[in-house]
């Protein structure tokens, strides 16, 4: 083969290899950009692994700069690979931290339940032998035209949340023991909110808070079949919503107790 022809063939082959390498590096760059965008839009990952996300961003920026200006395909591939790996590490670290938080939360919940059951036993000893009138006084419930009603104020829940605050435990122990000592009685657990915010969201929050109370009572041994749960949202206020105090009174959960044979009044 003539030298000139051989040179042309070699140059064509090298150009083809360079083209393949450039195409492959561009694909790696695009993939790294997709992974980084997914992470940067995930607030949990940004919160849990900010340094890894930052390293991914820096590596991606270098890869893009090499691809645009003066770098080789190898440089682009190298930094695109680094960016993707940092993104993967960020997500893995975030998932590990979330798992640790879940484990901690479960441990706290188990401890909370253990203390709840311990207090329940103490309350059972206190209630044993008491008359129904004494039990009702201890329950701190009000006799209304709807029946016996125990009101849980907004302070027994975390702000704008259906999660019960620890301070709610002892109040609900009393309700649970009243039901344990009076096994024929049933309850309707009703959730209410003030009128601030979206009405549909308020309705959902009132239902969720009422359900949280039912779930807690069930964890103390009260059968679910003895409980009805309903959310009324903004309806049936007991105070004006114009004042802070009035709105606080309207944000509540009411436990309506049946009569001695289990008859509950009609829902509102």
Question: How does pLDDT run along the chain (268 residues), one tens digit per residue?
Answer: 445 444 443 444 444 444 455 678 788 888 988 988 888 888 888 888 889 888 888 888 888 888 887 667 788 888 889 888 988 998 998 899 988 888 887 778 777 777 776 676 666 665 555 555 565 656 667 788 888 898 888 888 887 888 888 878 878 888 888 888 888 999 999 999 999 999 999 999 999 999 999 999 998 889 999 999 999 999 999 999 999 999 999 999 999 999 889 999 888 8
C-beta atoms surrounding 212 within 10 Å:
22
What is the per-residue pLDDT for 16?
45
What is the per-residue pLDDT for 18?
47
- Whose CA is closest to 239, among 192, 190, 203, 171? 192
What is the per-residue pLDDT for 12?
44
What is the per-residue pLDDT for 6?
42
SS (H, E, C) 99-152: HHHHHHHHHHHHHHHHHHHHHHHHHHHHHCCCCHHHHHHHHCCEEECCEEEEEE
What is the per-residue pLDDT for 128?
58
What is the per-residue pLDDT for 129?
55
For the record, the structure tokens of 73 come out as 């395909």
């Amino acid at each position: 083969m003539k030298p000139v022809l051989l040179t042309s063939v070699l140059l064509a082959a090298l150009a083809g290899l360079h083209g393949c390498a450039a195409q492959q590096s561009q694909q790696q760059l695009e993939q790294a950009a997709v992974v980084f965008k997914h992470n940067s839009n995930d607030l949990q990952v940004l919160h849990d692994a900010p340094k890894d996300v930052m390293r991914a961003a820096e590596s991606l920026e270098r890869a893009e700069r090499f691809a645009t200006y003066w770098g080789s395909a190898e440089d682009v591939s190298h930094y695109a690979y680094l960016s993707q790996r940092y993104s993967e590490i960020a997500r893995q670290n975030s998932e590990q931290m979330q798992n640790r938080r879940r484990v901690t939360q479960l441990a706290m919940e188990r401890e909370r339940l253990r203390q709840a059951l311990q207090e329940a036993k103490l309350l059972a000893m206190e209630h044993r032998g008491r008359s129904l009138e004494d039990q009702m006084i201890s329950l701190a419930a009000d006799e209304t035209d709807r029946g016996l009603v125990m009101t849980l104020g907004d302070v027994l829940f975390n702000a704008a949340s259906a999660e019960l605050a620890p301070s709610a435990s002892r109040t609900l122990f009393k309700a649970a023991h009243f039901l344990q000592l009076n096994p024929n009685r049933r309850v309707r657990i009703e959730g209410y909110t003030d009128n601030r915010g979206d009405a549909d969201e308020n309705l959902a929050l009132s239902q969720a808070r009422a359900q949280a109370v039912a779930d807690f009572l069930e964890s103390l041994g009260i059968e679910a079949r003895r409980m009805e749960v309903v959310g009324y949202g903004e309806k049936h206020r007991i105070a004006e919503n114009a004042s802070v105090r009035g709105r606080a009174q309207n944000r509540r959960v009411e436990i309506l107790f049946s009569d001695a044979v289990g008859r509950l009044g009609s829902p509102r």
